[in-house]
Amino acid sequence: MTTPPPATPRSTTQRSADPPSASPPSGPGPRPRPAPWVRTRLRAAPLGALLAAALAFVAVLLAAALPRAQDRGADQALRSFLEHTGAGRTSLQVTAPAPASGQSAGALDRTLASLLARTGNTFRVDPDAVVHGTRTVKRQPLLNPELSRPHRLAPEMSLLYIEQARDHVKLVEGRWPSDDPRPAGSGADEPPLRVALSKEAADTIGARVGSVLRSAPLTGGTASVEVTGLYAVTDKTADVWVNADCVPRACKKFLGESYLWEADALIGAGDLDRMHLWAHDAEDFWRLPVDVGTLRADRLDATKEEIASYVAGPTAAALTFETRRERLRTTAWLPELLEQAHARTQAAAPLAAIGPAGVGGVAFVVLCLAGALAGDRREAELRLLLARGGSRAGIVGRLVGEGAVTVLPAAAAATTLAVLLLLPTPRLAPALVSAAAVALVALLAFPVRAAVMLSPRRPAGRWRRPVAELLVLTATAAAVLEVRRRGVAPAGEDPDPLLVAAPLLLALCGGLVLARLLPLVTGLLARAAGRRPGLVGFLGLARAARGSGSRGTAAAGGRSGPSVLSTVALLLAVTAGGFGAAVLESVDSSRLTVARLTVGGDAAISAYGKALLPDGLAKAAGELPGVRTSVPLWIDHDSTLLGGPKGSTQVTVIVAEPAAYAELSRALGCGSFDPGLLSGGAAQPADAPVPALVSSGLAGRAGAQDAYVLRPGDGRELRARVAGVIDCTPARPARDAATVVLPSGPATALIGADRPNRWFGLGSPDGERLRALVGAALPASPTGPAPAATAAPAATTEGPAAGQPPASVAQPADEVYPVRTSADVVAELGADPLQRSAQRLFWASVAAAAGFALLAVLLTLMRTVPERAALLARLRTMGLRRRQGVALILAETLPQTVAAALGGAGVAAAAVALLGPALDLSTLVGTRVPTGVRLTAWPVLTQALGLAALVAAAVLVEAATSGRRQITTELRAGDQR
- Contact present, 337 and 89 (Cβ < 8 Å): yes
Q: Is 520 helix (H, G, I), strand (E, B) or coil?
A: helix
- What integer pLDDT is reported at residue 611 of this predicted model? 81
Cα–Cα distances in Å, from 462 out to 451, 459, 468, 471, 678? 22, 9, 11, 15, 73
H-run or E-run covering 904: helix 882-915
**Quick count: other Cβ atoms within 10 Å of Cβ 952?**
17
What is the Cα gyration radius of the chain?
Answer: 40
- Contact present, 482 and 496 (Cβ < 8 Å): yes
Q: What is the pLDDT of residues 570-615, one digit of tens each?
A: 888 888 888 888 888 888 888 998 999 989 899 999 887 678 888 8
With b for 16 or more beta-carbon neighbours within 10 A and e for fewer, the 3-38 pattern comes to: eeeeeeeeebbbbbbbeeeeeeeeeeeeeeebbebb
- What integer pLDDT is reported at residue 227 of this predicted model? 94
If one compares 554 and 92, the residue with the highest pLDDT of the two is 92
From first CA to last CA, the distance across the chain in angstroms is 13
**Quick count: other Cβ atoms within 10 Å of Cβ 90?**
21
Q: What is the pLDDT of residues 190-237, one digit of tens each?
A: 788 999 999 999 999 999 999 999 988 776 667 789 999 999 999 888
Rounded to the nearest 5 degrees, what angle is found at the Cα of 230, between the Cα atoms of 225 and 231?
130
Alpha-carbon distance of 949 to 850, in angstroms, equals 11
User: Model confidence at 734, in pLDDT bands (50, 70, 90)?
Assistant: confident
Alpha-carbon distance of 660 to 681, in angstroms, equals 18
User: Model confidence at 492, in pLDDT bands (50, 70, 90)?
Assistant: low
Backbone torsions φ then ψ of 821, nearest 5 degrees: -125, 155
Instruction: For the chain, give the percent of residues with pLDDT over 90.
Output: 23
Alpha-carbon distance of 904 to 936, in angstroms, equals 15
3-state helix, strand, coil in the chain (%, to 5): 55, 15, 30
The stretch 778-801 carries a mean pLDDT of 39
Q: Is 396 helix (H, G, I), strand (E, B) or coil?
A: helix
Cα–Cα distances in Å, from 621 out to 602, 807, 817? 12, 28, 13
Q: What is the pLDDT of residues 405-430, one digit of tens each?
A: 999 999 999 999 998 877 778 888 88
- What integer pLDDT is reported at residue 854 of this predicted model? 87
* DSSP symbol at 810: -
Q: Is 494 helix (H, G, I), strand (E, B) or coil?
A: coil
pLDDT at 939 over 60: yes
Considering only the C-alpha atoms of the chain, give the largest distance between any 2 of them, rounded to a whole number of Å: 132
- What integer pLDDT is reported at residue 680 of this predicted model? 61
- Give residues with Cβ within 8 angstroms of 411, minimum separation 6: 56, 57, 60, 435, 438, 439, 442
Alpha-carbon distance of 738 to 736, in angstroms, equals 7
Q: Which of 254-263, 396-405, 773-782 has the lowest mean pLDDT?
A: 773-782
The stretch 435-459 carries a mean pLDDT of 89
Cα–Cα distances in Å, from 761 out to 191, 223, 726, 758, 821? 67, 62, 21, 10, 9
- Give residues with Cβ within 8 angstroms of 536, minimum separation 6: 884, 887, 888, 891
Q: Which of 735-739, 855-859, 955-959 has the lowest mean pLDDT?
A: 955-959
Alpha carbons within 13 A on the beta-carbon side of 297: 27
- What integer pLDDT is reported at residue 976 of this predicted model? 47
> Which residue blocks in 600-734 are alpha helix, DSSP H?
617-622, 658-668, 696-702
- What integer pLDDT is reported at residue 223 of this predicted model? 74
Cα–Cα distances in Å, from 829 out to 7, 123, 311, 587? 71, 29, 34, 11
Q: What is the pLDDT of residues 343-355, one digit of tens each?
A: 888 777 777 787 8
Q: Which of 175-184, 186-195, 647-656 has the lowest mean pLDDT?
A: 186-195
**Quick count: other Cβ atoms within 10 Å of Cβ 494?**
13
pLDDT at 632 over 80: yes
If one compares 898 and 114, the residue with the highest pLDDT of the two is 114
Q: Phi/psi zone of residue 452: left (φ > 0), alpha (ψ -120 to 50 degrees), beta?
A: alpha
pLDDT at 796 over 50: no
User: What pairs with residue 635 in β-bridges?
Assistant: 654
User: Model confidence at 433, in pLDDT bands (50, 70, 90)?
Assistant: very high
**Quick count: other Cβ atoms within 10 Å of Cβ 339?**
13
805 CB burial (10 A radius; 0-12, 13-18, 19+):
exposed
- Give residues with Cβ within 8 angstroms of 768, minimum separation 6: none
pLDDT at 792 over 50: no
Alpha-carbon distance of 507 to 651, in angstroms, equals 54
pLDDT at 849 over 80: yes
Alpha-carbon distance of 686 to 252, in angstroms, equals 51
- What integer pLDDT is reported at residue 865 of this predicted model? 72
- Give residues with Cβ within 8 angstroms of 849, minimum separation 6: 355, 358, 359, 362, 572, 573, 576, 577
- Give residues with Cβ within 8 angstroms of 867, minimum separation 6: 977
Q: Which of 31-45, 207-221, 324-338, 391-405 has the lowest mean pLDDT?
A: 31-45
Backbone torsions φ then ψ of 293, nearest 5 degrees: -70, -15
What does the DSSP assignment read for 91-102? EEEEEEEPPSS-
- What integer pLDDT is reported at residue 290 of this predicted model? 93
Cα–Cα distances in Å, from 562 out to 47, 568, 962? 21, 10, 21
Cα–Cα distances in Å, from 876 out to 314, 492, 871, 967? 86, 67, 9, 8
User: What pairs with residue 254 in β-bridges?
Assistant: 259
Alpha-carbon distance of 568 to 563, in angstroms, equals 9
Alpha-carbon distance of 597 to 762, in angstroms, equals 12
User: Model confidence at 787, in pLDDT bands (50, 70, 90)?
Assistant: very low
The stretch 725-736 carries a mean pLDDT of 83
- AA letter at 120: G
User: What pairs with residue 282 in β-bridges?
Assistant: 136
- AA letter at 783: T
- Contact present, 604 and 760 (Cβ < 8 Å): yes
- What integer pLDDT is reported at residue 841 of this predicted model? 85
Alpha-carbon distance of 159 to 616, in angstroms, equals 54
Alpha-carbon distance of 561 to 549, in angstroms, equals 9
Q: Which of 29-43, 451-465, 934-948 has the lowest mean pLDDT?
A: 29-43
- What integer pLDDT is reported at residue 263 of this predicted model? 93
- Contact present, 591 and 826 (Cβ < 8 Å): yes
The stretch 235-248 carries a mean pLDDT of 88
Q: Is 251 helix (H, G, I), strand (E, B) or coil?
A: strand
Q: What is the pLDDT of residues 368-380, one digit of tens each?
A: 988 888 888 888 8
The stretch 642-658 carries a mean pLDDT of 81
- Contact present, 662 and 675 (Cβ < 8 Å): yes
pLDDT at 1 over 50: no
* Rounded (10°) CA dihedral 906, 908, 911, 916: -120
- Contact present, 82 and 90 (Cβ < 8 Å): yes
Backbone torsions φ then ψ of 725, nearest 5 degrees: -120, 135
Q: Is 605 helix (H, G, I), strand (E, B) or coil?
A: strand
pLDDT at 638 over 90: no
Q: What is the pLDDT of residues 495-533, one digit of tens each?
A: 677 777 888 888 888 888 888 888 888 888 888 888 877
Would you give the distance in Å from CA 52 to the centre of its chain? 36
- What integer pLDDT is reported at residue 793 of this predicted model? 32
H-run or E-run covering 565: helix 560-599
Residue whose C-alpha is closest to residue 157's, from 42, 255, 309, 279: 279
User: Model confidence at 54, in pLDDT bands (50, 70, 90)?
Assistant: very high
- What integer pLDDT is reported at residue 560 of this predicted model? 41
Cα–Cα distances in Å, from 391 out to 388, 440, 445, 533, 781? 9, 23, 19, 54, 99
Q: Which of 59-68, 282-291, 721-730 has the lowest mean pLDDT?
A: 721-730
Alpha-carbon distance of 892 to 864, in angstroms, equals 11
Residue whose C-alpha is closest to residue 928's, from 380, 344, 398, 493: 344
- AA letter at 843: W
- What integer pLDDT is reported at residue 328 of this predicted model? 93
Q: What is the pLDDT of residues 302-327, one digit of tens each?
A: 999 999 999 998 999 999 999 989 89
